[in-house]
Amino acid sequence: MKKISLILLLSPLVLLTGCTTTPEQCDPTNTNIGIMDKISCNYSGNYQARIDKKEQILADEKRANAQFREIYATIEKQKNSTSLSVKQKQAQLQKLKTELTKLTKEVKDKAKNRDDLQAQVKDIEQQMNKVNNSNASDMEKQVELDKLNKKLQQLQKALNI
Which residue, among 6, 2, 11, 85, has the nearest Cα to 43 in the 3D structure?
11
Q: Where are the beta strands (DSSP E) in 27-89?
A: none
Question: pLDDT per residue over 34-64, tens digit each?
Answer: 777 778 777 777 778 888 999 999 999 999 9
Question: In degrees, to the nearest 5, what angle opens at C-alpha 121 toward C-alphas 119 and 122?
Answer: 65
Confidence at residue 93, expressed as pLDDT on a 0 to 100 scale: 78
* pLDDT, tens only, 96-148: 888 888 878 887 787 777 777 778 878 888 888 888 788 877 778 778 888 88
Please tell me the least confidently modeled range out of 20-34, 57-71, 76-90.
20-34
Residues 83-101, mean pLDDT to the nearest whole number: 79
Supply the pLDDT for residue 18: 45
More confident residue, 161 or 71: 71
Domain positions in the chain: 1-44, 45-159
The residue type of 80 is N
Backbone phi, psi, residue 31, to 5°: -95, 0
**Is the whole model's pTM more than 0.75, yes or no?**
no
Q: How far apart are the first and last CA of the chain?
A: 126
Query: In this predicted structure, what is the pLDDT of residue 7?
Result: 64
Task: Assess whether pLDDT exceeds 70 at residue 5.
Answer: no
The predicted pLDDT at position 11 comes to 59
128 neighbors 104 (Cβ within 8 angstroms): yes
Measured in whole angstroms, how far is the alpha carbon of residue 111 from the centre of its chain? 53
In DSSP notation, 125-148 reads HHHHHHHHHS---HHHHHHHHHHH
Of 149, 160, 157, the closest CA to residue 104 belongs to 149
